Amino acid sequence: MLIRYSPQRSDRSLTYEFEGETITATLDGQSDVFDFSGLPDGELDVSALETTLDICPVLAARRVNGQLEVTLLKFHGPNAPESERFPKPEVID
């Protein structure tokens, strides 16, 4: 799974755990699970994603030649290092 992070300055806490093609997002202590294992090749309309969180942290998701690519909201604090403000994509096995 290829993960792209979209950085945003925020005072809130948002973390992720990955297992296979399932992503658990935890926002200020509240968690929701996003399972992409059934996503076929093509782009997912993420505006239709339902979540119990008050914001949807999944900004984009698509499968290209079988590989899942997901863009996730990623919060950072003030004076964050460049690696957090300009994050590079990560491959999660």
Partner 1 sequence: MEWNPNIPVVTNNVQDDLDAIRANFQHLDQSRIVEMGENANGHYVRWENGLQACWFTNNPTPNFTERIEGAVSGYLHWDDWTYPATFIAIPSVVAIGRGAVDFVIQTSLNTSIVSVSTTTAGIRLWAWNQVNVNVTICRIAIGRWK
Q: Which residues bind partner 1 (CB under 8 A)?
A: 6-12, 47, 55, 59-60, 73, 75-76, 78-80, 84-87
| Closest approach of partner 1 to the CB of residue 91, in Å | 19
Q: Is residue 92 a contact partner of residue 3, using CB atoms and an 8 Å limit?
A: yes
Q: Quote the CA–CA distance of 84 and 77 in Å, as a whole number.
A: 9
Closer residue to partner 1 in complex, CB, 7/39: 7
Closer residue to partner 1 in complex, CB, 36/75: 75
| Closest approach of partner 1 to the CB of residue 44, in Å | 13
10 Å Cβ neighbour count for 67? 11
Q: Is residue 74 a contact partner of residue 14, using CB atoms and an 8 Å limit?
A: yes
Closer residue to partner 1 in complex, CB, 11/93: 11
